[in-house]
Amino acid sequence: MEVSEREGSQRFSSHFPSDGSGHSRLTIRVLAGASCLCVTSTNNGSCFRFPEQESPNMSKVLRIVAFAYPYFFDNIPLFYRLFICTGEGCAHNETIPIHYRHVTLAMLTGFLFATHLPERLAPGTFDYIGHSHQLFHICAVIGTHFQMKALIKDMTLRQAWLTLHTPLPSFMDTIGAISLALLLNLLIIALFSLGLYWKPKTPEAKNQHYYTEKLKVD
């Protein structure tokens, strides 16, 4: 679900940077890069879990980076439109405030995931309700809602310009690319899962398995 949302939202946002002449070149470059990052971020996010026991802080930083750089790359067209582009060809319309809400919630999601607030300020108080893992998922869902709302409104407002200046999306630009990215991500997950299944058991794990089986027999 996350892979499809990430790939799909990126393909939407790459079509809305501005009304300038560089639209096609920017779209092609961002789409190609985002398709690769969609797969590598899943691979890196899985790999960076291995040093978690030996170096939990380093593992945390690497996992944040693994999911942060695809987000920033995927939204280059949107950031260009919001923070850099000026003038008549920048498509500044009533969707801009909605995009700002989406970006703010995305930043807040990463902040909560990285800092583990508020439970670090009051240990034990937020064990069940209100801890950072719950909050960052809530922010991510609301941010995605604003993102999709802005994109749908953008398509409605700019339909005439998009029809005249952009080619119709092809199969590989839509369902084909998303399906390929999803298939590759599922393959990565399957390989890592099999690796864990075939991993030799440590002495502690063997002892735990022995006592578990003994309790069943008793």
Sign (positive or negative) of CA dihedral 53, 55, 57, 62:
negative
Measured distance CA(89)–CA(17) in Å, rounded:
10
pLDDT beyond 60 at 19: no
Choose the weakest-confidence range: 36-40, 109-113, 130-134, 155-159. 36-40
pLDDT per position as a tens digit, 177-194: 778 888 888 898 888 888
pLDDT per position as a tens digit, 103-136: 999 999 999 988 999 999 998 899 889 999 999 9
- The model's confidence at residue 85, banded by pLDDT at 50, 70 and 90, is confident
- The model's confidence at residue 202, banded by pLDDT at 50, 70 and 90, is low
User: Tell me, what's the pLDDT at 26?
Assistant: 57
Decide which of 112 and 43 is more confident.
112
pLDDT beyond 70 at 68: yes
Query: What stretches of the chain adopt beta strand conformation (E)?
Result: none
| Predicted TM-score of the model (pTM) | 0.71
> How many Cα neighbours within 13 Å face the side chain of 67?
22
pLDDT beyond 70 at 32: no
* Percentage of the chain exceeding pLDDT 90: 20
Mean pLDDT of 27-34: 65
Mean pLDDT of 151-163: 84
Residue with tokens 């809400």: 101
- The model's confidence at residue 210, banded by pLDDT at 50, 70 and 90, is very low
User: Tell me, what's the pLDDT at 105?
Assistant: 95
Residue with tokens 């923070």: 83
Q: Say which DSSP state 14 is in.
A: T
Angle made by CA atoms 109, 149, 4, in degrees to the nearest 5: 65
Is residue 14 a contact partner of residue 31, using CB atoms and an 8 Å limit?
yes
Measured distance CA(58)–CA(88) in Å, rounded:
45
Mean pLDDT of 52-56: 75
Q: Which two structure tokens, joined as six digits, stand for 103?
A: 């970006």
Measured distance CA(27)–CA(54) in Å, rounded:
41
* Percentage of the chain exceeding pLDDT 70: 74
- The model's confidence at residue 98, banded by pLDDT at 50, 70 and 90, is very high
Measured distance CA(26)–CA(37) in Å, rounded:
16
User: Tell me, what's the pLDDT at 121?
Assistant: 92
Q: Which two structure tokens, joined as six digits, stand for 98?
A: 């909605």
Mean pLDDT of 189-205: 72
Mean pLDDT of 22-27: 53
Listed in sequence order, the residues at least 6 apart from 85 whose beta carbon sits closer than 8 Å to its beta carbon are 17, 18, 20
**Is the backbone peptide bond immediately before 118 cis, with ω within 30 degrees of 0?**
yes
